[in-house]
Amino acid sequence: MSKKWTKEAIASTIDHTILKATAQPYQVEQLCKEALEYKFASVCVNPCYTKLVSEKLKGSGVGTCVVVGFPLGANTTEIKAAETRQAVEQGADEIDMVINIGMLKAHEDDYVERDIRAVVEAAGKACVKVILENCYLTDDEKTRACLLSEKAGAPYVKTSTGMGPSGATIEDIQLMEHILPTHKIKAAGGIRDLETAIKMLEAGADRIGASASIALVESVGEKEREESYRNSNR
């Protein structure tokens, strides 16, 4: 394992996530406690929990990340913008929005760009991550989605919602990095072990979306102990 991937380094890349329909307030509160303990990058939740999370994390340095147009991306642009404004008003630091996948596939690029731009403008100073949902896209569509996100002013692109038939892949991270070398990338969906997380980060991801965050971080500690034991017995 590369020395740079300490527990702290891995934790600082993770959006500690709970987006299930069954998520309850006590579970969201527990997620916040864990995020504060491990110093994750953010806690990522559905919009109804924005205020709860922002209050629990206030002044901690752990961000409040809220999904918009989730998980299908098929809301109208006006609704996505309104959802974004409300989330920011309630304390969101980051917005993870889903593009209109159908419009992208129909080559309605102007629509897709306007849709993203409306969220970026509504977000103000909050960081917008554009979810492409790559499992439904061809490489050409992924390329267009990345470039439209750039034109619309979004600083981040994200692989997946985690709700589709598949999630992040190394190939997608490499493609997104190639298309937008100056942008940041979030890998999400199916990242449940340390090895996969590190591969994503070394392929070009800046952020990891995960619900198995604690297991990932604790795995770093286990590897560090194994390496220390091997070194002491040489």
Q: Could you list the active site residues?
A: 96, 158, 186
Query: DSSP strand E in 134-183: where?
Result: 156-158
Comparing C-alpha atoms, which of 215, 40, 191, 69 is closest to residue 128? 69
Distances (CA, A) of 216 to 50, 102, 115: 25, 34, 34
- Cβ atoms of 42 and 62 within 8 Å: the answer is yes
Write the burial class of residue 47 (CB in 10 Å: 0-12 exposed, 13-18 middle, 19+ buried). Answer: middle
Instruction: State the Cα–Cα distance between residues 165 and 153, nearest whole angstrom.
Output: 28
Q: Which tokens is 114 given?
A: 């306007």
Instruction: State the Cα–Cα distance between residues 147 and 220, nearest whole angstrom.
Output: 35
